[in-house]
Structure formats: structure tokens, C-alpha cells
Amino acid sequence: MNGRSDGHLLYCEVVHKIRGRIRIKSKSLKYLGRLKTEIENQLEQVKYIKSAKISSITGTVVIYFDDINVTDDNLIAFIQNTLNVYLVEIYKNEKIESNKNIVIERKLQEESPEEIIKKMAAAGILLLYNIFKKAPVAPVIGIKRLLNPNTLVVLSLAAPVISNGLGCLVKNKRPNADTLSSSAIISSLLLGKEKTALTIMIMEEFAELLTVYTMKKTRGAIKDMLSVGENYVWKVTDNGSIQKVAIEEINKGDKIVVQTGEKISVDGIITKGEAYIDQSSITGEYMPVTKKVGENVFAGTIIKSGNITIEAEKVGDERTVSRIIKLVEDANFNKAQIQNYADNFSAQLIPLNFLLAGIVYGATKNIQKAMSMLVIDYSCGIRLSTAAAFSAAINTAAKNGILIKGSNYIEEISKADTIIFDKTGTITEGKPRVQTIKLLDKSLSENMMLAYAAAAEETSTHPLAIAILNEVKERGIEIPNHTENKIVVARGIETEVENSIIRVGNKKFMEESGITTENSHDEMKFILGRGEILIYVAKNDKLIGLIGVTDPPRENIKRTINRLRGQGIDEIVLLTGDLEQQAQTIASRMSIDSYESELLPEDKARNILALQSRGSNVVMIGDGINDAPALSYANIGVALGSTRTDVAMEAADITITKDDPLLVPEVIGLSKKTVKTIKENFAMAIGINSFALVLGATGILPAIYSSIIHNMSTILVVGNSLKLLKYKLKN
């Protein structure tokens, strides 16, 4: 492999070799999981490999081979090519494995703001009761304190915190933020300090309330953005009548009626009727298509004309909205590295709190000073502020039509240094239009030549045909009567107009039909030189004209590329399946650093892996459907445009639902602001809590004031994170 790139999963190096035996090390070999045996078998299928044994523990493979002409580079290249096929699953396994040692924290999204407010109100009332109640003549301390009604109510309110704190110790053998909080609460109660315990609870609940409120707003913003159908649909009842019901009430197998102008709300099969349906949000097809009984239809598509009855196949949790929201909130492998770092860092400091408490008590014999060490911890502020920051960023993005699947993608895109663009539908509009017309038969007018071309293309739904038909409509040209059109696959179309045969297609189609193209050399060179798609038009045996069709660049795409360079992107690459000339023209016009043309989807994926092998953090921007392999292989896959479909959502890590490429540099700017905010939170949480620890250890601050300072710092950093809700995306 050329150059070192130790951080890349597929990087391989030889650690030991003797004649006929070699040991190769690769990080990816640690994360094969169930693929291990399958890959060993594949390696052993090679004729010169006698045996291959993979060790997931050491991340090495030992290969015995019998061909002395095989080089180290040959073996490494073969191993990398074999692993390439499974790279997506290997990436996923790595993320899951790296999160196994993360501290177990309560899932904040499982609590609603209303539930937290109720707990705060109950704790507040109890705190007021304890403030104004008369102190007993002989206060009871120790275990007996836990058995009176007042204390039992406090314990019941703190039950989730205590349960999680003790559960983390039992299940994970590690303390977490709730371990410290529960220790401080129980210690306070044993000492008869109910007011201290309740103050700790109220302040922590308030910080959590801010975070949970942000998460709730984020869920709402995502639901609004991902709404792929109507809120209410017409359901066919058992007696054959139709009834208006909420979409949530539709079950698999139910039948719904959808009429002209309505959006389809379920994935299913047409059981009755016929309709002309706009499927551009799913397939990218420019023209609507006719759908009949027995054919599939998809949520998010629009009926242009017709009425159909659909038998629902995907409803409820299977629908896009439910799956994506669940993924955004809960996917284990979607946790940002900075969150993992924060969890591990704060988890390592939690035992320090217990150690300090022991040291302070041993030195002073003062339980109050020792308790101050337990009510202050770093993890609470760091955990809540990172969760709030990422949730606020996802919320802000969603309100602007950008779906970010997880916090790790925010951090990952902030580190991007290479952007790869697909061409059709990404840099260009994906809606070809006629750009150049060259008339070769002077006995005809330009409009007549176009009318002949439109006659041949009238029944076609090919994008190039649509471009010609649109040009004819805009010019107000009447399409002449013609016979049935005959399609010659991958060549062109022919028809008959007024006893003349009209052919429209490519150069090969003309040559196979015996029509010379020699007299069009200069005009052909001019059109191709502009990067346009060349279409030949012939009448009988004579070439009468050339049409140049272009797919124009998206509005603002040039400004987008300029802004991306301003965001620190070092390299911008174009990967496309289009012809060399078209790719070169677009790359030149957009000032793109390099390009590759005539690529298959798997070729794009290989190009991405080659860039990653050099240590580049790659962002792939495509349409989310044809570019699914490339979107999956990139560090970050971004689907640009109105492709709000299952395929697009699952292939891309970030989906921009608006047709505005300027949102790409804006989401990078948002991600960098988010990471900067989290780092500010780290500094504030560590600084303030360290100061409070020193004051608590010296006895200057009682435990209750230490708790107030600690929780106020948590509220401060959470508040700093919530500023991201007001972040403005310029587009």
C-alpha cells in the first residue's frame, strides 16, 4: 500500500515473514465478527495460498503460501480487496466495539419535560416543608433516618438516579454521574440533611430539563421535516365505504384511497384504479409515470391525476419517520468520539471524588467536608452539555431542512478535508435542456427540424427526449402527426411523418441506418467541445440537424464550492458515470481539483477508499439513490436535494432535503461551531468544578453550597450549548 495511513481501517503492514509464511496486521481484522470464517475461506480459495488464519484479538492474519514469486504488496493488495467488500459492516462493528466500554448513563430521551417538571415541583414542595418544619429536639442520624416518611419520599423521588448509579457499578463495574449523585443524596439523608439532598436533586433535574426539552424540540423538528404523507387518509371499511382516519390508525393490510393532488402516505400495492404519479422524490425520474393494479407505490410520491386504492405494506414503526427518529436518538454506533472521550474522561475522574472524600475525612474527621467531594463531579456537566449541544445542532439543522442521523456525523463532518461530488442531480440539476441547435439542411427551418425530432420522441420518457419536447413546447411548435414510434435500444428512435422516415439518436444509430455524418464534423466538434450531449436528427437517408443537450449546473453550486474552500476543504473531486468530455467541462467550469468519468457505482466506492487510504476525511455528496455505495463508504455521505426516501435516508448520513447546495458549507460551519461549543463547555465544567473542589476540601464551602456551585456550572454549560438553537444558517 502506498504511504502510511495507520488510522485507516484497511491499512496493512507486514509484522513478520519467512519463506512461505507471512503475518500481516490490519486494524480491520479486529472487527470482522461473524465474517471471520467467511473471509478465511475466501483467502484460501486462492491457488497459491495453502492456509489463512485470522486472529481477531491481535488483528493479524497468518498466511502460508507456496509461490515464491508472490510479493508482500501482492498479498496486502489481495487482503485489502477482499476486506473492501465488507468495509461498511467492519466500520459498524468498530463503532459498536468502541462504545462497549462507555459509561452507562440514563437515556434522557426516555423522560418527558412534563415528568421532570412534576418531579421538580414535588421536590420543591418537599424542600419548602423541610425549611419551615420544626427541627426535632434530638435529631436522628444514621440508618434510622432512612425509615421516616419524609426521607422515604425523598428516596422515591431520587429512585431513577440511585437505580442507575448502583446499576452502573453492578453491570459495568464503573461509576457514573448518577453514582456520585446517589452517594451524595444518601449521605445527606443519613446525616439528616434532607434540604441538601433535595437541593442537589432540584438543580440536577433543572439541568436535565433543559437538555430533554432540546431533545423534544429536535424530535418535533425532524417529524415536521420528514413528513412523507398526509396526516389523515381515506380508509376503505369492511362494508366498502370510505372513512377519514389518522395515518397512525392505518395497519398493514388496510386499504386506503388516494385521489388526484394528494400525497401517498404508505408504501403498498395498487389494488384498484390507475394513476399518473410523480415519483421524482424516489427515483429521480423527471417525468411522472403511470401506475396500474399490482404495481408498487411509495410514501412521499404525489398523484398528478387518477384515483387509486392501495393496500398498505409499510406502516407505523416501519415508516421512514419512526425509523429515522429512532436512529437519530438511539443508534449505539452513532455516538461522537468527543462524547466517548468526555464519558471516559469524566468516568476516570469519578473515583477521584471518592478518593478525595476519603482523604478529606481522614484528615479532618469532618463528614460535611468529605461530602463536598461527593456532590461535585465533572461528568454531569460534560454529559449534559454535550448531549444538549448535539441535540441543539440537530434541531437547528432539521429546522433548515437538514437531517443529521447522529452526533458522530456532526463531529466527523467538522474534520472533513475532501469533498466528492456526483455530477447528475448534484452539481447539475438533473433536468437536461436543449442548449445548441445546428441546422444542416437549409431547405428546412430550425423549428421544422425540431418538430420532426419531437415527433420521434413524443412517446418517450427518456430525459433527453423530455429536453427536446420541452424546447418544442416553449417555442409553441406543433408536433406533426406520425406513425407508431420504434425504439432501437441504446441507439435511438424512428417514426414516419408524411411518408418520410425520421430518425433521432446517436452517431452509431445513424451509421447503422446508412446515414453519413461526415458533413457535420465541425458542428459536432463545436457541440461536444461545450460538453453537451449530441443528438442526431435525420430525414430519410439525410442528416438534417444536430441538437446539443446540456444538464445545467445547479444555482449557487459555484458559490458552494468557493465557500467549501473557505471552510478548510483542501480537495474537491468530481466522480461521475457521464462521458469524459462532459465531466471535463463541468470540472473546468466549477474549478474542481480532479475528476473521474464513466464510473460504475462500485468504481466510485473504490475511489473513495483510495482517498481514505491516504488519510483523507471524505465527504461524498450525491443523490442518495444511485450513489448509495459511495455514500456508505465515505466518512460522511450527504444526500442533496428532495430525495426523501427510504433508500436515500438509509444510504446517507446527512440528508439535505432542500435543493440548495449552499447548505453543504453551512452544515459544516454548524458542525465546527458545535465542536467549539463543546470544548468551551469542557473548559468551563472542569475549571468551575475544580475551584469548588478546592473550596470544599478546605472547608470554606459547606456541602450544600458546593452542590449549588456544581449544579449552577452544569446549568451554565447546558445554557451555552442551547445557544446553538439560535445559530443562523446562511443560504
Calpha distance 146→162 (Å, rounded):
14
Question: Which amino acid is residue 203, in one-letter code?
Answer: M
Grid coordinates standing for 258?
388516494
**Pairing of the two strands 267-278 and 302-314:** antiparallel
Identify the CA nearest to 120 among candidates 199, 59, 49: 199
DSSP 421-477: E-IIIIIB-S--EEEEEEE--TTS-HHHHHHHHHHHHTT---HHHHHHHHHHHHHTP
Grid coordinates standing for 282?
424516489
Identify the CA nearest to 689 among candidates 356, 365, 445: 356
Identify the CA nearest to 11 among candidates 83, 92, 97: 83
In 413-541 the beta strands, taken as DSSP E runs, fall at: 418-421, 433-439, 486-488, 492-497, 500-505, 533-539
> With left for phi above 0 and alpha for psi between -120 and 50, is residue 173 left, alpha or beta?
left
Grid coordinates standing for 674?
458545535
All residues at 6 or more sequence positions from 282 whose CB lies less than 8 Å from its CB, including other chains: 298, 300, 301, 625, 643, 645, 647
Question: Which amino acid is residue 206, in one-letter code?
Answer: F
Positions marked active-site: 422
Question: Which amino acid is residue 439, in one-letter code?
Answer: L
**Pairing of the two strands 654-656 and 242-246:** unpaired
End-to-end CA distance of the chain: 42
Calpha distance 68→48 (Å, rounded):
9
- In contact, 681 and 382? CB cutoff 8 Å: yes
Residues in the chain: 731
Following CA atoms 500, 502, 507, 509 in sequence, which dihedral angle do they give, to the nearest 10 degrees? -90
Burial class (CB in 10 A: 0-12, 13-18, 19+), 231: exposed
Calpha distance 193→561 (Å, rounded):
61
Identify the CA nearest to 409 among candidates 385, 422, 396, 393: 393
